[in-house]
């Protein structure tokens, strides 16, 4: 798969270093490549030295992989990328047509055109939606890397499909971490039910769970709505404001 990515970016493909590695050892996080995900997703990237994009995982219809929420004057609404089929590896999922691109561009402009920081990102989203995308994974990876770069998140991105790790479930997670030299695995809270702490312990890898409460920030259109796409804080409070929000993390329970 081709890469649509500025390789001078701080969110790079190799050689990531920083305080996370110095203070906690080499940290790995793993997640499916979602479409314009929420702040908590980017907090996992921020905490990581290596972020594995689980592009060979099974696509799940109705998940966050092809859609996310934005806020409009009438409440929240979905931005959904139409895809062909409902199963198969995420890397193989094809986008159905091009009509959605103009819909998403116009939706962002209508909902955020008056936001304080829209002009900082308007050209980026316009350029992204001006391109024709055939692969959902390529679109999502492009957006994730470019937004991580703008947020100055110093992290190496690796696609799981490029690693020869033959296993499933928690065993695969542990083997991916070991393959990448992890000292620490930063897991989403939702994985607590199927993570096996003993497997991590046997591999010499510290298992830590994310504890990230959706922070409040200045929004348009009335009552605050949490867990929207990262687009919402970026366009409302800008890069620096969003970076401050990413510091809103509590101690591991």
- Residue 59, pLDDT above cutoff 60: yes
CA–CA distance, 155 with 148 (Å, rounded to integer): 8
Contact 135/95 with Cβ under 8 angstroms?
Answer: yes
**Structure confidence at residue 208 (pLDDT):** 97
Strand pairing class (75-80; 83-84):
unpaired
Global confidence as pTM: 0.90
Name the one residue in this structure whose structure tokens are 């542990």.
174
Which sequence spans correspond to the domains of the chain? 19-245
Q: What is the pLDDT of residue 248?
A: 79
- Note the pLDDT of residue 166: 87
DSSP string for residues in 59-115: P-TTSSSSEEEEEETTEEEEEE--EE-S-SBGGGPEE--SHHHHHHHHHHHHHHTTS
User: Tens of pLDDT along 75-128?
Assistant: 999 999 999 988 899 999 999 988 999 999 999 999 999 999 999 999 999 999
Taking the C-alpha atoms of residue 73 and residue 220, their distance in angstroms, rounded to an integer, is: 8
Total residue length of the chain: 253
The confidence band for 9, taking pLDDT boundaries of 50, 70 and 90, is very low
Q: Ranked by mean pLDDT, which of 163-167, 201-205, 212-216 comes out on top?
A: 201-205
Where does the pLDDT of residue 249 fall: very low under 50, low under 70, confident under 90, or very high at 90 and above? low
- What confidence score (pLDDT) does residue 250 get? 53
Mean pLDDT, range 159-177, rounded to an integer: 95
For the chain, how long is the longest CA-to-CA vector?
A: 53
């Amino acid at each position: 798969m081709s890469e649509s990515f500025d390789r001078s970016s701080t969110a790079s493909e190799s050689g990531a270093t920083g305080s996370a590695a110095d203070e906690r050892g080499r940290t790995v996080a793993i997640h499916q490549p979602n479409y314009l995900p929420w702040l908590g997703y980017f907090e996992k990237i921020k905490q990581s030295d290596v972020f594995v994009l689980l592009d060979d995982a099974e696509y799940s219809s109705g998940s966050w992989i092809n859609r996310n929420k934005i806020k409009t004057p009438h409440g929240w609404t979905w931005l959904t990328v139409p895809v062909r089929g409902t199963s198969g590896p995420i890397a193989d999922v094809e986008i159905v047509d091009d009509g959605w691109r103009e819909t998403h561009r116009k939706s962002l402009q209508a909902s955020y055109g008056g936001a304080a920081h829209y002009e900082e990102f308007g050209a980026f989203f316009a350029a992204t939606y001006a391109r024709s995308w055939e692969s959902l994974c390529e679109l999502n990876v492009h957006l994730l890397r470019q937004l991580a770069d703008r947020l100055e998140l110093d992290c190496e991105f690796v696609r799981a499909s490029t690693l020869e790790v033959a296993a499933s479930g928690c065993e695969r997670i542990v083997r991916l971490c070991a393959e990448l030299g992890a000292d620490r695995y930063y897991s989403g809270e939702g994985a607590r039910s199927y993570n096996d702490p003993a497997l991590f312990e046997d591999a010499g890898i510290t298992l830590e769970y994310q504890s990230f409460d959706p922070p409040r920030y200045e929004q348009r259109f009335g009552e605050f709505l949490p867990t929207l796409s990262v687009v919402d804080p970026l366009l409302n409070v800008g890069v620096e404001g969003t970076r401050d929000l990413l510091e809103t993390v509590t101690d591991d329970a």
